[in-house]
C-alpha cells in the first residue's frame, strides 16, 4: 500500500529533485518517528512539526525553476514529482501507517475556528480523531437535540426539525457544524443545511423530479440525456444534506441499495452497450462517501470500457468533509486519469483552510477541479458575494464552472431567485475580473430540456453590416461583420 512518500532513485528524477528530497530527509532524521532506508529507496513517514513547515517553505518555494530534466514529457511523472515537491505539507492527512504493531496518523491541519469549536464542544476528541473522516461521518448531527447543543435554534428551525415532513434528511458533519453561526439563523451556511418551515410550502410549479431524470433513465442508476455522456447515480448518501437538493426525492431514502455491486452492474452493462457514451459522470448522493475500495472498483470497471474517454465525479465532500480527501484516496484517483472533479460550493465562507487543503491534494494529484454553484436567495445572489466566491475558488485551483438557477423541487420557493439576479451577477463579473472567474449561468430546463446557458445582452443590434456591441462599461462599439456568400444558382 502506498502510504506516503516512496520513490526509487532512477533516471526519471532530476538531480535537483533528489537533492531537495535528500535535504528534507537529513533535516528530519533526528526527529523521525519512523524512517527506513533500503538499497536504492527512500521511505519517509513521521508526524509533521512547525520546524518542518518553516524548512519546507524556505527550501521548496524559494528555489529557481530549473529547465526540464530527464523526466520531461513522461506522462504521470510530472504530477508525481509535483506531489512530492509542492504537496509535502498539504498532503499530510489522517492516513494510517502500520509498522510493527504501531500506528502513526498524519494530521490534517485545523483552522483556528475549527480548533476552538472542537476544544469547546468535543474536549475529549483529539486533533487526529477529528481529522479522521470516518469519525466525522459517524458523528454527524441528525436531530434537533443534537444540533441545539451547538447553535441556538430559532423557533422556526426547531419547529421544522421537530415536525420534519420533507423528503430531505437532516445530517451535518461536525466539521461543517463548526462553520455555522451560533446565534444568527439567517447566516448563509446555516440556511443551506438547517431546515425551516418554509420547506413545507409547495407551490404549483414545483415537482419531485423537476428535471425529468426518471424519464431519461433507461436502466436504474443511469440518466442518459445527452448523446455522448451519461450520468451514473452510484449512491443516495451524502455526508451533509443540502436543503435545496435537486434529488430530494431520492437522497437518503433507500439505504445502500443504490451502491451495491449488483445495482451498479446493470448500469455498467448499459454503458458498455452504448459506444456513443464517451464521458461518465458519477453522482448521487455523493460518490466520495463510498469507501476507497468500492470507489476504486467502480472506477476501474468503467476505465476498462474501451469507449469511455473521460470520468468525472460530482461531490461536495471537499466543502463539508474535507478530511475525506486523504493521500491514499488521491493516490488511488490519479490512476484513472483523465479524471475530473466538480465541487459543489456556494458561499465564500466555505473556503476554509481545510477546504483549501482538500483541493490542493486533489489538484496536486493532477485532477482538474471545477465548481458548481446554485444561485440561492439571500445567500449568494449578489455580485459582491459571488465575486468573493469565484476569486477565492481560483486561489484554491478550482475553476468556476456552472452557476445554476435553483431547481423547483418541493418546498424550495424561499431559495429561488429571479433569473435577472443571475444575469446581473454575470454582468457584474464579466469584464470586471478575469474571465477564468466567470462561470456559465444555466437553467436546467424543467421536463428534461437539459442545461440552457443564459448571458446578458451584449449584442444590441445592427447598423447596416455592422454588429453593435455593448462592453462591460456600457459603451457601444461597432464590429464590421462579414456577410455570408450566397451559393451560386445552378
Q: Does the domain formed by 222-453 have CATH 3.20.20.70?
A: yes
E strands, 275-368, in order: 279-283, 310-315, 339-344
Long-range pairs for 115-120: beta carbons < 8 A, 24 or more residues apart = 117/177, 117/178, 118/174, 118/178
Least confident of 25-34, 253-262, 292-301, 411-420: 25-34
Residue 32 confidence (pLDDT): 45
pLDDT at 3 over 50: no
Residues 6+ apart with CB under 8 A from 342: 281, 312, 313, 314, 315, 369, 370, 371, 372, 401, 402
Residue 345 confidence (pLDDT): 98
Q: First and final CA of the chain: distance in angstroms?
A: 72
Q: Which of 242, 316, 359, 361 is catalytic?
A: 242
Give domain limits for the chain.
5-89, 112-200, 222-453, 457-490
Phi, psi of 348 (to 5 degrees): -60, -25
226 as an active site residue: the answer is yes
> Residues 371-426: pLDDT tens digits?
999 999 999 999 999 999 999 999 999 999 999 999 999 999 999 999 999 999 99
Residue 379 confidence (pLDDT): 98
d(CA 268, CA 170): 31
What is the band of 249 on the pLDDT scale with cuts at 50, 70, 90?
confident
Q: At what angle do helices 292-303 and 261-272 cross, to 10 degrees?
A: 20
359 as an active site residue: the answer is no
pLDDT at 223 over 60: yes
d(CA 350, CA 240): 13
| Mean pLDDT calculated for residue range 362-379 | 98
Least confident of 247-256, 312-321, 390-399: 247-256
| Mean pLDDT calculated for residue range 358-370 | 98
Report which of 208, 180, 183 is spatially closest to residue 194, judged by C-alpha positions.
Answer: 180
Residue 240 confidence (pLDDT): 96
Q: Is 270 helix (H, G, I), strand (E, B) or coil?
A: helix
Q: Which of 225, 249, 324, 334 is catalytic?
A: 225
Q: Which of 9, 98, 143, 226 is catalytic?
A: 226
Report which of 392, 130, 346, 359 is spatially closest to residue 242, judged by C-alpha positions.
Answer: 346
Residue 6 confidence (pLDDT): 42
407 as an active site residue: the answer is yes
E strands, 326-433, in order: 339-344, 369-375, 399-405
| Mean pLDDT calculated for residue range 98-112 | 59
Q: What is the DSSP letter of 331?
A: H
Residue 26 confidence (pLDDT): 54
E strands, 164-288, in order: 222-223, 229-233, 279-283
Residue 23 confidence (pLDDT): 61
Residues 6+ apart with CB under 8 A from 43: 5, 6, 35, 36, 37
Cell readout for 185 is: 439563523
Q: Which of 158, 229, 397, 430 is catalytic?
A: 229
Cell readout for 434 is: 478575469
Q: Which of 28, 52, 238, 402 is catalytic?
A: 238
Q: Which of 28, 191, 247, 316 is catalytic?
A: 247
Q: Which of 245, 249, 324, 331 is catalytic?
A: 245
| Mean pLDDT calculated for residue range 423-437 | 97
> Residues 57-75: pLDDT tens digits?
433 333 333 333 333 333 3
| Concatenated DSSP letters of 301-319 | HHHTSTT--EEEEEE-HHH
What is the band of 193 on the pLDDT scale with cuts at 50, 70, 90?
very high
> Are the C-beta atoms of residues 489 and 480 closer than 8 Å to each other?
no
Least confident of 83-87, 122-126, 189-193, 292-296: 83-87
Residue 258 confidence (pLDDT): 72
Rg of the chain on CA atoms, in Å:
25
Residue 483 confidence (pLDDT): 76
What is the band of 178 on the pLDDT scale with cuts at 50, 70, 90?
very high
Q: Which of 381, 407, 416, 441 is catalytic?
A: 407
190 as an active site residue: the answer is no
Strand partners of residue 19? none
What percentage of the chain exceeds 70 in pLDDT?
A: 76
Cell readout for 474 is: 456600457
For residue 295, count CB atoms less than 10 angstroms from its CB and return exposed for 0-12, middle for 13-18, buried for 19 or more. Answer: buried
119 as an active site residue: the answer is no
406 as an active site residue: the answer is no
> Are the C-beta atoms of residues 253 and 284 closer than 8 Å to each other?
no
> Are the C-beta atoms of residues 442 and 405 closer than 8 Å to each other?
yes
In this structure, the number of other CB atoms found within 10 A of the CB of residue 392 comes to 20
> Residues 437-466: pLDDT tens digits?
999 999 999 989 999 999 999 999 999 999
444 as an active site residue: the answer is yes
Mean pLDDT for the chain? 82
Cell readout for 317 is: 465532500
pLDDT at 290 over 80: yes
> Are the C-beta atoms of residues 219 and 232 closer than 8 Å to each other?
no
- The length of the chain, given as a count of residues: 490
Task: Give the CA angle between residues 141, 322, 132 to the nearest 5°.
Answer: 70
What is the band of 99 on the pLDDT scale with cuts at 50, 70, 90?
very low
278 as an active site residue: the answer is no
430 as an active site residue: the answer is no
SS3 for 45-86 is ECCCCHHHHHHHHHHHCCCCCCCCCCCCCCCCHHHHHHHHHH
pLDDT at 325 over 90: yes
Q: What is the DSSP letter of 430?
A: B
Least confident of 50-64, 170-184, 353-367: 50-64
What is the band of 257 on the pLDDT scale with cuts at 50, 70, 90?
low
In this structure, the number of other CB atoms found within 10 A of the CB of residue 72 comes to 11
> Residues 15-42: pLDDT tens digits?
655 566 566 555 555 444 434 333 333 3
Residue 153 confidence (pLDDT): 97
pTM for the predicted model, two decimal places: 0.78
For 82: left if phi > 0, alpha if psi spans -120 to 50, otherwise beta; the answer is alpha
For 50: left if phi > 0, alpha if psi spans -120 to 50, otherwise beta; the answer is alpha
216 as an active site residue: the answer is no
Residue 86 confidence (pLDDT): 38
pLDDT at 228 over 80: yes
Residue 11 confidence (pLDDT): 47
Residues 6+ apart with CB under 8 A from 94: 105, 106, 107, 108, 128, 131, 132, 133, 323, 326
Amino acid at each position: 500500500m502506498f502510504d506516503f512518500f516512496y520513490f526509487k532513485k532512477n533516471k526519471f528524477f532530476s538531480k535537483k529533485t533528489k537533492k531537495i528530497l535528500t535535504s528534507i530527509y537529513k533535516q528530519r532524521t533526528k526527529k523521525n518517528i519512523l524512517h527506513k532506508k533500503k538499497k536504492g529507496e527512500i521511505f519517509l513517514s513521521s508526524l509533521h512539526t512547525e520546524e518542518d513547515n518553516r524548512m519546507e517553505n524556505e527550501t521548496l518555494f524559494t528555489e529557481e525553476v530549473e529547465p526540464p530534466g530527464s523526466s520531461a514529457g513522461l506522462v504521470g511523472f510530472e504530477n508525481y514529482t509535483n506531489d512530492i515537491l509542492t504537496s509535502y505539507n498539504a498532503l499530510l492527512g489522517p492516513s494510517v501507517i502500520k509498522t510493527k504493531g504501531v500506528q502513526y496518523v498524519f494530521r490534517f491541519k485545523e483552522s483556528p475556528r475549527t480548533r476552538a469549536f472542537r476544544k469547546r464542544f468535543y474536549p475529549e476528541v483529539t486533533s487526529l480523531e477529528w481529522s479522521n473522516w470516518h469519525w466525522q461521518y459517524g458523528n454527524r448531527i441528525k436531530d434537533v437535540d443534537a444540533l441545539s447543543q451547538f447553535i441556538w435554534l430559532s423557533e422556526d428551525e426547531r419547529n421544522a426539525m421537530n415536525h420534519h415532513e420533507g423528503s430531505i434528511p437532516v445530517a451535518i458533519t461536525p466539521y461543517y457544524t463548526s462553520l455555522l453561526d451560533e446565534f444568527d439563523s439567517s447566516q448563509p451556511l446555516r440556511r443551506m443545511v438547517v431546515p425551516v418551515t418554509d420547506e413545507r410550502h409547495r407551490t404549483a410549479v414545483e415537482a419531485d423530479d423537476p428535471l425529468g431524470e426518471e424519464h431519461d433513465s433507461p436502466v436504474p442508476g443511469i440518466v442518459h440525456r445527452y448523446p455522448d455522456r451519461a450520468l451514473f447515480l452510484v449512491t443516495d448518501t451524502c455526508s451533509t444534506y443540502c436543503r435545496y437538493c435537486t434529488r430530494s426525492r431520492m437522497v437518503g431514502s433507500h439505504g445502500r441499495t443504490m451502491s451495491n455491486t449488483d445495482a451498479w452492474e446493470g448500469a455498467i452493462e448499459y454503458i458498455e452497450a452504448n459506444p456513443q457514451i464517451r464521458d461518465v459522470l458519477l453522482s448521487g448522493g455523493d460518490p466520495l462517501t463510498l469507501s476507497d475500495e468500492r470507489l476504486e472498483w467502480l472506477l476501474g470497471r468503467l476505465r476498462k470500457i474501451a469507449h469511455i474517454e473521460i470520468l468525472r465525479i460530482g461531490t461536495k465532500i471537499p466543502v463539508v468533509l474535507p478530511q475525506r480527501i486523504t493521500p491514499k484516496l488521491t493516490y488511488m484517483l490519479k490512476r484513472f486519469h483523465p479524471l475530473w472533479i466538480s465541487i459543489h460550493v456556494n458561499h465564500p465562507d466555505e473556503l476554509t483552510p481545510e477546504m483549501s487543503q482538500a483541493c490542493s491534494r486533489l489538484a496536486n494529484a493532477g485532477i482538474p477541479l471545477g465548481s458548481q454553484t446554485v444561485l440561492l436567495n439571500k445567500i449568494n445572489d449578489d455580485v459582491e458575494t459571488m465575486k468573493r466566491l469565484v476569486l477565492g475558488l481560483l486561489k484554491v485551483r478550482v475553476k468556476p464552472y456552472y452557476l445554476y438557477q435553483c431547481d423547483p423541487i418541493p418546498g424550495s420557493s424561499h431559495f429561488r431567485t429571479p433569473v435577472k439576479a443571475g444575469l446581473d451577477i454575470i454582468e457584474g463579473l464579466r469584464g470586471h475580473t478575469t474571465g477564468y472567474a466567470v462561470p456559465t449561468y444555466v437553467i436546467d430546463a424543467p421536463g428534461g430540456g437539459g442545461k440552457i446557458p443564459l448571458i446578458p445582452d451584449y449584442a444590441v443590434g445592427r447598423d447596416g453590416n455592422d454588429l453593435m456591441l455593448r462592453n462591460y462599461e456600457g459603451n457601444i462599439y461597432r464590429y464590421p461583420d462579414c456577410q455570408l456568400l450566397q451559393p451560386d444558382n445552378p
